[in-house]
Amino acid sequence: MELIKNNTQIKIIKSILIIFLGSIALTISAKIKIPFYPVPMTMQTFVVLFLGISFGYKIGLTTISLYLLEGIVGLPVFANSPEKGIGLIYFTGPTMGYLLGFLTAVFLSSKINSKDNFFIVLIKLIFAVSTIYILGILWLGILIGWEKPIFELGVKPFLLAEIFKIMLLALIAKKIIKIRNFI
């Protein structure tokens, strides 16, 4: 009985550590801008999808929730913060839909498994990342008006970078799953 209790405690501590480190990784991925065409690329969506594949939906959703909470309470974790504001004001700005989309994307990417072939992994990743952009442009349209070129502003500049990140993840997904299953 004591062994089961110790294993449970170790599992809880391990999960808390992964969640905390995941929120740090997400923050770092938001801050580093890689030169890319037509706009600089961050690795946020990569990390979101990686978290889902690596740790499953429970830890993934908890990690994203912690990250969002950190940003809402005023920690400068989001991309372009503190330069463009912090806290709830920043969160409810133009990027809120995308940030909320992280929750759906991490959940959907957690559904990738070792039986999926490359093509299925690619489709699941495209679907997962698409939810970020769907929620993003929905919120952007509400915020700035539907008469604006929402797709050209909120999706098109990021497509090449997303294709790159999705392809990279699709190539390494099986290895990530093997490591996850080993741990």
Q: Where are the domains of the chain?
A: 2-182
Domain formed by 2-182, architecture = Orthogonal Bundle (1.10)
Structure-token match 């929750």, residue found? 103
Q: Residue 84 — very low, low, confident or very high, per pLDDT cuts 50/70/90? A: confident
Question: Are 89 and 78 contacting, i.e. CB atoms less than 8 angstroms apart?
Answer: no
Of the candidates 65, 89, 66, 91, which has an alpha carbon nearest to the alpha carbon of residue 78?
91
Over the stretch 20-32, which tens digit does the pLDDT of each residue have? 999 999 999 999 9
pTM beyond 0.85? yes
